[in-house]
Amino acid sequence: MKFMGFRCATVIAALFAVSPALAQKQVVVYSANENTLDSLVYEAFEKATSIKVNGVSGGSGVLVKRIQTEKDRPGGDIIWGVSRSLLESNKEFFTPYKSKNVGAIPAEFRDPNDLWIGNNLHMLVILQNTKALPEGQGPKSWNDLLDPKWKGKIAFTDPANSGSAYTNATLLAQMWGNNDAAWKKVEQFFANTKVLNRSSLVFQGVGNGEYPLGVSLEYAGYLWASNGAPVKVIYPSDGTAAQMEGCAIIKGGPNTESAKAFVDFINQKDTRELILSKTFRRPTRQDLDLSKLPGNMPALAAIKIAPYDEAAWTKARPETMQKLQDIIAKTR
Amino acid sequence: MRLIPARSGFPLAVAAVALAFLGLFLVYPLYNVFQASFFDPSGKALTLANYVKILGTPFYRAGLINSLTVGSLATLMTIAIGVPMAFCVARLPVPAKPALLALAALPLVLPSFVGAYAWVLLLGRAGLVTQGLREIGLDGISIYGKQGLVLVYTLQTFPYVLLPTLAAFKAVDVSIEEAGQNLGATRWRVFRTVILPVVLPSVLSGGLLVFMETLENFGVPFVLAEDMPILSIQAYKLFVGEMGANPASAGVLGVLLICCTTAALLLQRYYLSKRRFATGARSVPPELVVAPWLRRLGACFAWGVVLLALVPFAAVVAISFLKFRGPVMHLEPSIGNFVLLWQRGERPLVNTLMLATGAAAGATLLGVPIGYVLTRYRSRLADLLDVVAMAPFAVAGTVLGIGLVISFNSGFLILTGGWLILVLAYMIRKLPFNVRASAAILHQIDPSLEEASINLGVSPARTFFQLTVPLMAGGVIGGTILTWVTITSELSATVVLYSGQWSTMTVEMFRALEGTGAGTAAATATVLILATILPLALIYRVLKRHEVALL
Amino acid sequence: MTAIRIDGVARAFGAVAAVRGVTLDIRDGEFFTLLGPSGCGKTTLLRMVAGFCDLDSGTIHFGERRIDTVPPHKRNAGMVFQNYAIFPNLTVNGNVAYGLKARGIVPDQIDDRAAKALKLVHLDGYGARWPHQLSGGQLQRVALARCLVIEPEVILLDEPLSNLDAKLRVEMRGEIRQLQKRLGITALYVTHDQEEAMAISDRIAVMNAGSVEQIGQPVDIYQRPATPFVARFMGTTNLLSGSVIRHEGDRAVVRAGGHDFLVGAPGIAEAEPGKAIGFSLRPEALTITAPGAKPPPGWASLEARVVRIEFLGALTRIELALDSGLVLHAAAVDMPRALAEGPVALSYDPARVTAFPGPCD
């Protein structure tokens, strides 16, 4: 017993001796990205600037909630990888910064007052597992997904948990006319889907063949396909929307100067090329030649974009979300 | 009964410290989380409208019903499996019992969502086993939905029933059994009418743990429920959903969760208070002599359950040694996942070990004196302490985490962003285990030893530290190790509370699975398993005698 | 060395009164026993003196010092527990030294005093042993040494012998008594065994249902029980109820069970004829002789039949029936020769009868 007690004491002492010595410059990033992207960028940033990155990962909802509760004493410097609507609706927590990259990024992907800046675009697409569902037999458009033969075969994310799923559902409603008939079709669409808790479950499910089809994001399809999974990306012929993700500097954060460096770094041309080659994030800056980069993604101009009134749908979010929740509950 | 025990500075001091601690780090945060649910949107008038609204919504009612159904079924299943298994291990010559018991506790080590993912890889629609079965014509097997949840919960939580029931079977006085038979009862009748009632309290307290765990858990339904409404998921979504949190509705669900678990707790305590069986077994009952086929059946059953429960372990370890290209698994052996993990650094592992050690020590330091006061000084104050100290059982980790963030991000005490808030959350969550374990050990220590010490002139406080603590040491170390092990796999509170440099192994796994790093997640899990298996094996070495105390 | 004064002490557990207003004066150096059946409150009372049980009302003093408000660890009352309560994690020496260490005695003295205490209980040389290596009797001696070594003002013994076998019990009680007298220490002893109580005590308090029924020296309590309960509890007896018919001098004739008994208990002369009384006649006070034999002068005699004989070695118990069917128990030292089932004459000294006001239940 004595021996054990002694050993325990030594082990505990050893553990607590590792407490961090933080003389180095650092930046605290609240990131909603998946960690492959995070570690890629953090490593490159640390190498380029010698600023240490402390990453906090979480769903964008969790992170925003955290910024809100921490408003009197912010713990983070940057929020990264969250949707335009979340950035818009939480502007009061951000501090403006005019990035060095603003020239390369179209105005539609930036805040006019530089409170936030877009980094990448997620095209809403249909993913198909070509092993579970032979290539020629997949749907071509959103409209095709209403066919009852897909019932239970389409994975989708609960819009309550995912900004892109919300955009996707409202995109469909708008595309189909935003009237009763349109919402009837949205209901039909939901009736065919499995509504999962997280977007990651959708692309993992399609990648592993758990679901033959999934409504997901462009990058996931390329990522899985390029690594050998039988996944095909379908850009719906009736048009889609580009869901922007961006970053913002948190007002009153502990390392605002480092945060500025980080914002500049992640939108630099070479960084975007690195990110695209490794993780297939389509950049907001439009000066990259996609055809020369891995994945050979089509240029933004080559994809049919459907009209989508993001501002209006963001504003109508509470009642629309309620409507969607009712539809989900009804179609289960 | 008295309000406070008379002339007892020591228990009073313990109760005061414990109540202050729990008040500050449990009751106050929970109040902050739940108060919104009792107010109208203006935040001024008290109302129950939020409750009426939520309970009037079929979606949430379905969530409540599904959660209770799954919880009850899982509880019944664990009892149906755990009790016969405990009996087999206690009374039949099952081969390699120590190994069996050590392996049986393992399911508690693997974070539940990782276990659920492993089951999907095996039994999902495109799972290895499902595909194999499909080739031989068996189709329609699904791990998703209620049956999957019940299966996974059963295999993950049956140790909660097995371990205390086993201890109870071993504590049955053989003479009761002989007396029963002597009075002309058949063996089965003796089992049903004499032995079963004696072990029932242990079965029930194990079953209660299972029920609470399944109700509170959100990792497993997160993966397996697909779109079936489940209360813990709904609460999680409402608390942190991207749609903008809805604190009033979220509070309602949180309160509902607490109500369900508290009701179960009270029901069990009420039942137990009506029946107290104390048996003073002088020796462990002997193994029964039964027909060889029955013996073999018992051995196959016990080992079968344990091995089945270890399938996700084997799967996770196997997967961690497969080649991953990005998120895509290829059936080639590789140590690439570990290389990647190595490059990420050891910080999460160090954090996990350090935080778990701090929290397990803290929970023990707090739990042992509380258990002592509860067992040795009955009074109304002790009853209050009992209820408050058991309350964390009923609180979902996410809810506690959010409460701690709200309460300690600003104001008189700032804890967010550091390691202490994680340690506190773990301490609170695991406190009931420690209190129960300490109380169980104390029941085995004759109170007259302490009286003798006090009588010889040593004050109650010094007696506790100088005599009782050394006497409890074995059991306490066992309980602490078990707490330590379960903390290392904690996710639901951690995910809300951790900050960058204090990321843990489970958070790393969660993030990796959330993203595209299933391989890294498996490797992380493998490392965590290795890091926790050693102390777990120690439990069985250090304390053969205190098995009861483990839970 | 201290007297113990227990004054009006009471304690209830819920609705059950465990001790109801007990008052006792235990003299300095006295061996005082609380005797009674289980549940009579004797252990509760002892634990109150030790400080392990709170008082609802009343006071307890050691000498002039009021101790019921003093925490138990400051009372300086050594206690010996029923199950010995030997610390299993300490050696014999560790156990004995435990209380000395608590008192901050210097180590040299501790060893010295512990050794002396062990010698006192005939355990010299056992200091290094572990409790699990000792027998029940040895454990009891360790408990005794541990309690005596701190030189307590009083010692409290809670059924200390009940876990020992019969022979050892007799041996140990003798030793305890001897030790107590030698050290001159006040002892409060709890037992349910009346024989043990009588063998060991200076005085006994017989307790029943939370109250003291009688306090006195063993011989008084046995021979002059104050209540039917005490009479019954202190050993086998013939308890009869009847009514006074007439007086014969300072004695009374009482009719019970259809027979006339001559009762010579003190104060019986004052009982009015017709008054219902109870009385106790100890078996050994009954003398059995051949039918028709003449009893000693002043003795009462009855005709009876021996219906059963129980030979117990030193003692023989005899069950007798009177014509009415009333059964009496008699006892004789040794086995009387020629004793057989059949008619006999029964005689007794009326002075050995104890009477109680009112019938016995």
For A63-114, the DSSP string reads HHHHHHHTTTS---SEEEEEEHHHHHHTGGGEE----TTGGGS-GGGB-TTS
Does residue B265 sit in the same domain as residue B384?
no
Q: Give per-residue pLDDT as tens, B140-178.
A: 677 888 999 999 999 999 988 888 888 778 777 666 666
Predicted pLDDT of residue A1: 33
Predicted pLDDT of residue A16: 42
Does residue A183 sit in the same domain as residue A266?
no
Q: CA-CA distance, C101 to B356, in Å (whole number)? A: 37
Could you tell me if residue A15 is inside a domain?
no
Predicted pLDDT of residue B166: 84
Could you tell me if residue A166 is inside a domain?
yes
Q: Give the count of domains, chain A.
A: 2
Could you tell me if residue B208 is inside a domain?
no
* Burial state string for B257-278 with b = 16 or more CB within 10 A and e = fewer than 16: bbebbbebbeebbeebeeeeee
* Burial state string for B18-44 with b = 16 or more CB within 10 A and e = fewer than 16: bbebbeebbeebbebbbebbbbeeeee
pLDDT band at B345 (very low <50, low <70, confident <90, very high): confident
Does residue B550 sit in the same domain as residue B446?
yes
Does residue A230 sit in the same domain as residue A291?
no
Are B471 and C82 inside 8 Å of each other by CB? no
Q: Among partner residues A35, A53, A198, which is closest to B512 by beta-carbon distance?
A: A35
Domain C238-357 CATH superfamily: Nucleic acid-binding proteins (2.40.50.140)
Could you tell me if residue A226 is inside a domain?
yes
Are B57 and A56 inside 8 Å of each other by CB? no
The structure tokens 């019992």 sit at B97
Mean predicted lDDT score pLDDT of chain A: 87
pLDDT band at C214 (very low <50, low <70, confident <90, very high): very high
Does residue A179 sit in the same domain as residue A305?
yes
Q: Give per-residue pLDDT as tens, A298-330.
A: 998 899 999 999 889 988 888 898 899 889 888
CATH architecture of C4-231: 3-Layer(aba) Sandwich (3.40)
Predicted pLDDT of residue B482: 78
Predicted pLDDT of residue B282: 46
Does residue A141 sit in the same domain as residue A237?
yes
Indicate if the pLDDT at residue A14 is higher than 60: no
Residue of C55, C86, C91, C98 to mutate, testing the B interface (most B Cβ within 10 Å of its Cβ)? C98
- CA-closest candidate to residue B228, choices B147, B122, B155, B124: B147
Range from A298-307, B411-420, C137-146 carrying the lowest mean pLDDT: B411-420
Indicate if the pLDDT at residue C9 is higher than 80: yes
Enumerate the β-bridge partners of residue A26.
A52
Enumerate the β-bridge partners of residue C311.
C316
Domain that holds residue A109: 24-121+244-298
Range from A47-56, A243-252, B446-455, B493-502 carrying the lowest mean pLDDT: B493-502
Range from A19-28, B18-27, B330-339, C46-55 carrying the lowest mean pLDDT: A19-28
* Burial state string for A302-320 with b = 16 or more CB within 10 A and e = fewer than 16: ebeeeebebeebbeebeeb
Cβ–Cβ contact B240 with A under 8 A:
yes
Mean of pLDDT values over B318-324: 90
Does residue B302 sit in the same domain as residue B359?
no
Predicted pLDDT of residue B542: 60
C54: closest chain B residue by CA: B6
Task: Say if CB C127 and CB C118 are below 8 A apart.
Answer: yes
Radius of gyration (Cα) for chain A, nearest Å? 22
Q: How many CB atoms lie within 10 A of CB A113?
A: 10
Does residue B302 sit in the same domain as residue B335?
no
Burial class for C182, CB neighbours closer than 10 Å (0-12, 13-18, 19+): exposed
- Residue with more model confidence, B195 or A234: A234
Predicted pLDDT of residue A15: 40
Does residue A102 sit in the same domain as residue A170?
no
Indicate if the pLDDT at residue B40 is higher than 80: no
Indicate if the pLDDT at residue B293 is higher than 90: no
Enumerate the β-bridge partners of residue B228.
none
Q: In angstroms, what separates the C-alpha of A300 from chain B's closest C-alpha?
A: 25
Predicted pLDDT of residue B248: 76
Token code pair at residue A181 = 């008939």
Give the residue extent of every domain in chain C.
4-231, 238-357
Q: CA-CA distance, B332 to B548, in Å (whole number)? A: 45
Predicted pLDDT of residue C321: 92
Could you tell me if residue A12 is inside a domain?
no
- CA-closest candidate to residue B370, choices B317, B441, B456: B441
Q: Give the count of domains, chain B.
A: 2
Does residue B309 sit in the same domain as residue B349?
no
Q: Give per-residue pLDDT as tens, C59-83.
A: 999 999 999 988 888 888 999 998 8
Q: How many CB atoms lie within 10 A of CB C27?
A: 14
Are B460 and C76 inside 8 Å of each other by CB? no
**Residue B39 is inside which H or E element, if any?**
none
Does residue A293 sit in the same domain as residue A305?
no
Does residue B126 sit in the same domain as residue B223?
yes
Q: In angstroms, what separates the C-alpha of B105 from chain C's closest C-alpha?
A: 30
Does residue A238 sit in the same domain as residue A277?
no
Mean of pLDDT values over C306-315: 88
Residue of B131, B149, B233, B243 to mutate, testing the A interface (most A Cβ within 10 Å of its Cβ)? B243
| Domain-terminating residue out of B281, B297, B320 | B320
The structure tokens 């909660």 sit at B160
**Strand ranges in B320-429 using DSSP code E only, listed in sequence order:** 322-325, 328-333
- Residue with more model confidence, C206 or A325: C206
| Domain-terminating residue out of B320, B343, B374 | B320
Q: CA-CA distance, B464 to B454, in Å (whole number)? A: 10
Does residue B517 sit in the same domain as residue B540?
yes
Are A61 and B344 inside 8 Å of each other by CB? no
Could you tell me if residue A89 is inside a domain?
yes
Does residue B241 sit in the same domain as residue B356?
no
Q: In angstroms, what separates the C-alpha of B8 from chain C's closest C-alpha?
A: 8
Mean predicted lDDT score pLDDT of chain C: 89
Token code pair at residue B298 = 């018992």
- CA-closest candidate to residue C301, choices C262, C268, C250: C262
Mean of pLDDT values over B248-252: 79
Please report, for residues B121, B321, B324, B504, the alpha-carbon distance to residue B523 in angstroms, rounded to integers and kept in the order given. 15, 8, 11, 14
Could you tell me if residue B95 is inside a domain?
yes
Predicted pLDDT of residue B56: 82
Sorted by sequence, the CB contacts under 8 Å of residue C293 that are 6+ apart come out as C345
Q: CA-CA distance, B526 to B316, in Å (whole number)? A: 7
Q: How far apart are the first and last CA of chain A?
A: 58
- CA-closest candidate to residue B454, choices B463, B446, B465: B463
Indicate if the pLDDT at residue C161 is higher than 60: yes
Could you tell me if residue B27 is inside a domain?
no
Does residue A214 sit in the same domain as residue A324?
yes
Q: Give per-residue pLDDT as tens, A47-87.
A: 999 999 988 887 777 788 889 888 888 989 999 999 888 89
Does residue B106 sit in the same domain as residue B128?
yes
pTM for the whole structure: 0.77
Are B328 and A328 inside 8 Å of each other by CB? no
Does residue B267 sit in the same domain as residue B411?
no
Q: Among partner residues A64, A224, A329, which is closest to B328 by beta-carbon distance?
A: A224
pLDDT band at C84 (very low <50, low <70, confident <90, very high): confident
Q: CA-CA distance, A243 to B271, in Å (whole number)? A: 56
Task: Say if CB C102 and CB B458 are below 8 A apart.
Answer: yes
Could you tell me if residue B26 is inside a domain?
no
- Residue with more model confidence, A16 or A302: A302
Does residue A260 sit in the same domain as residue A183?
no
The amino acid occupying position C137 is G
B 144-183 residues with CB < 8 A to A: none
CATH number of residue B137's parent domain? 1.10.3720.10
CATH number of residue A68's parent domain? 3.40.190.10
pLDDT band at B38 (very low <50, low <70, confident <90, very high): confident
Mean of pLDDT values over C188-200: 94
Could you tell me if residue A326 is inside a domain?
yes
Task: Say if CB B143 and CB B115 are below 8 A apart.
Answer: no
| Domain-terminating residue out of B273, B293, B320 | B320
Sorted by sequence, the CB contacts under 8 Å of residue C220 that are 6+ apart come out as none
Sorted by sequence, the CB contacts under 8 Å of residue C71 that are 6+ apart come out as B7, B9, B459, B460, C51
Please report, for residues A121, A138, A234, A293, C156, the alpha-carbon distance to residue A289 in angstroms, rounded to integers and kept in the order given. 15, 29, 21, 7, 97
Helical segments of A119-234, H only: 163-175, 180-192, 199-208, 218-226
Indicate if the pLDDT at residue B246 is higher than 80: no
ipTM score for this prediction: 0.83
Could you tell me if residue A1 is inside a domain?
no
What percent of chain B has a predicted confidence (pLDDT) above 70?
Answer: 88
Are C73 and B451 inside 8 Å of each other by CB? no
The structure tokens 């929307």 sit at A241
Does residue A197 sit in the same domain as residue A319?
yes
Predicted pLDDT of residue B175: 67
- Chains with 3 or more CB pairs under 8 A to chain A: B
Predicted pLDDT of residue B238: 76
Mean of pLDDT values over A156-184: 91
Q: CA-CA distance, A109 to A117, in Å (whole number)? A: 7
Predicted pLDDT of residue B485: 84
Indicate if the pLDDT at residue B543 is higher than 60: no
The amino acid occupying position B515 is G
Question: Which residues of B fall within a CB distance of 8 Å from C77?
Answer: 455
Indicate if the pLDDT at residue C3 is higher than 70: yes
Task: Say if CB A99 and CB A200 are below 8 A apart.
Answer: no
pLDDT band at C339 (very low <50, low <70, confident <90, very high): confident
Does residue B282 sit in the same domain as residue B390?
no
Does residue B303 sit in the same domain as residue B392?
no
Does residue A117 sit in the same domain as residue A148?
no
Does residue A196 sit in the same domain as residue A251?
no
**Residue A327 is inside which H or E element, if any?**
helix A317-331
Could you tell me if residue A3 is inside a domain?
no
Are C74 and B452 inside 8 Å of each other by CB? no
Q: Give per-residue pLDDT as tens, B372-386.
A: 888 888 777 877 888
Q: Among partner residues A18, A317, A329, which is closest to B243 by beta-carbon distance?
A: A317
Mean of pLDDT values over C100-114: 90
**Strand ranges in C211-353 using DSSP code E only, listed in sequence order:** 211-216, 238-248, 251-256, 259-263, 276-281, 287-289, 300-311, 315-321, 327-333, 342-348
Indicate if the pLDDT at residue A2 is higher than 60: no
Could you tell me if residue B71 is inside a domain?
yes
- Residue with more model confidence, A3 or A321: A321
Please tell me chain A's helix, strand, coil percentages from 3-state DSSP, rounded to the nearest 5: 50, 20, 30
Q: Give per-residue pLDDT as tens, B471-524.
A: 888 778 877 887 888 888 888 888 778 876 788 888 888 878 776 678 888 899
Sorted by sequence, the CB contacts under 8 Å of residue B19 that are 6+ apart come out as B384, B385, B388
- Chains with 3 or more CB pairs under 8 A to chain B: A, C
Q: CA-CA distance, B283 to C220, in Å (whole number)? A: 47
Indicate if the pLDDT at residue B546 is higher than 60: no
Domain that holds residue B255: 39-161+213-320
Indicate if the pLDDT at residue A264 is higher than 70: yes
